[in-house]
Amino acid sequence: MSFSISLLSVVLVAVVYATAFQQQPSRYHHAHKYRRHPSTTLFYAAKDECIAANKKYLSRKLGLTKDQISRLQTDGLPNILTLEDGVLEERVDWLKKRLKLKNKSQIRKIVQHQPHVLAKLSSNLAQKIDYLQTRLRLNDDSLRKMFLEAPHLIPCSTENMEETLNWLQTRLRLDDRQLTKLICRAPYTLGCSVSENLEPTLDWIQRRLHTLDEFTISRVVQKMPRILHLNIEANLEPKFDWIQHQFNLDDDALGKMVQRSPTFLGLSIDTWEVKLDWIERRLDLTDQDLSKFILKAPSILNCSIESNLDLTLDFYIDALGNEREAVRLVTKNPSLLAYSLEKRLKPRLQETQDAGILIDAGCLRRIGQYTDDYWKMALSFVRDHQELGIIALP
């Protein structure tokens, strides 16, 4: 009995001491809780050194600002700033050589857009680049341009890109050359999901432009691949409805307008309205005349007022010396406003003047509308027959 009491006393004392120890931890306990282990301190010091070295490399060698460097770290993705000293530079050099990047700005673009790819570089990237270059038969310049225009392709899987290429080629009935041309025009198409983006959008376009056959729809997409990236509800549908209402078009006329120049669909309705107001006011057109004008040359909607339309109209006014006659010429031939001043109109006018050819409305129309081959032939004909008194373009 006495033994049991003694044992019970020992247990009670032990419990009391244990409780007291838990409630009042020793100074050693506090020190152990807050003091960093020597190995941990070394780890953080080494990490800080790597970050400092990588920031220095990005700033001095690639020309990134402090603000640009601070934005390189994305939550949940690998961080290039914590790479071991020298690793980042080695990976950038590899990417520079593989894509034959020419200057710091090109390197910066990829580093800024896809830093996590360099943080976790793998052999898959090399295989992906090789696959695209082989599949699309790209030269080095085209390959570099593709990745600079759409750097987000770098993390895309080869399998997904292969699926997209096969779908595009089959659905749009493209040969290899047409497929390459489409992707080079809009490389970010490779980053779109077939089932969630490309296929539903193409299906909708075919239903909405039901008067166009599959071949014509394919041509529309080839002219403007970005049409497959536009949201149906927020973009395509309201634009098609606005065009039909604004120009009083039936489905057949809408299809023909889109077929002729689909690229204008990439602009906003607000932008269209500003340009239409300028054309209507500057050429003194009625609403009906404006509709006919745009339907003849919808590509005019792609032109800038300040750098294209206004300057080009002034060109015809100066060449003819008569504003009313120039406006009449452009109103009858809307496409004349869409031609390049520097690459076509000015050089051809100079050639015409040098050849002693009469400058009138008919001559200016030919200056704009003749193809390069026909222009050379017409100019040569006049030069060869000047002794006969011919001073007008055929």
Taking each helix axis as running N to C, give the angle between helix 323-332 and helix 310-320, from 0 to 180 degrees, rounded to the nearest 10.
Answer: 120
Q: What's the pLDDT score for residue 302?
A: 94
Cα separation, 339 vs 369, in Å, equals: 8
Cα separation, 237 vs 200, in Å, equals: 13
Give buried/exposed letters for 150-177 (b at 16+ CB in 10 A, else e).
bbebbebebeebeebbeebeebbebeee
What CA dihedral angle connects 106, 111, 117 and 121, to 10 degrees?
Answer: 70
The dihedrals phi and psi of 150, each to the nearest 5 degrees, come to: -135, 70
Tell me the Ramachandran region of residue 321: left when phi exceeds 0, alpha when psi lies from -120 to 50, beta otherwise: left
Q: Are 351 and 375 in contact (CB under 8 A)?
A: no
What amino acid occupies position 239? K
Cα Rg of the chain, angstroms = 34
Q: What's the pLDDT score for residue 80?
A: 83
Handedness of CA 8, 14, 16, 18 (dihedral sign): negative
Q: What's the pLDDT score for residue 116?
A: 75
What CA dihedral angle connects 309, 313, 315 and 320, to 10 degrees?
Answer: 170
Contacts 24+ apart (CB under 8 A), 216-224: 216/255, 216/259, 218/172, 218/173, 218/174, 219/259, 220/258, 220/259, 220/262, 221/172, 221/182, 222/172, 222/174, 222/178, 222/181, 222/182, 223/261, 223/262, 223/263, 224/262, 224/263, 224/265, 224/266
Cα separation, 218 vs 153, in Å, equals: 24
DSSP string for 30-57: HHHHHSPPHHHHHHHHHHHHHHHHHHHH
pLDDT tens string for the chain (394 positions)? 444 444 444 444 444 444 444 444 443 344 344 444 444 444 445 578 888 888 888 888 888 888 888 887 665 567 888 888 888 888 889 989 999 998 889 888 888 888 877 777 777 888 999 999 999 999 999 999 999 999 888 888 899 999 999 999 999 999 999 999 999 999 999 999 999 999 999 999 999 999 999 999 999 999 999 999 999 999 999 999 999 999 999 999 999 999 999 999 999 999 999 999 999 999 999 999 999 999 999 999 999 999 999 999 999 999 999 999 999 999 999 999 999 999 999 999 999 998 888 899 999 999 999 999 998 998 888 787 776 666 677 7
Q: Are 181 and 222 in contact (CB under 8 A)?
A: yes
Token pair recorded at residue 11: 């247990």
Q: What's the pLDDT score for residue 44?
A: 47
Q: What's the pLDDT score for residue 76?
A: 58
- Count of C-beta atoms within a 10 Å radius of residue 226: 15
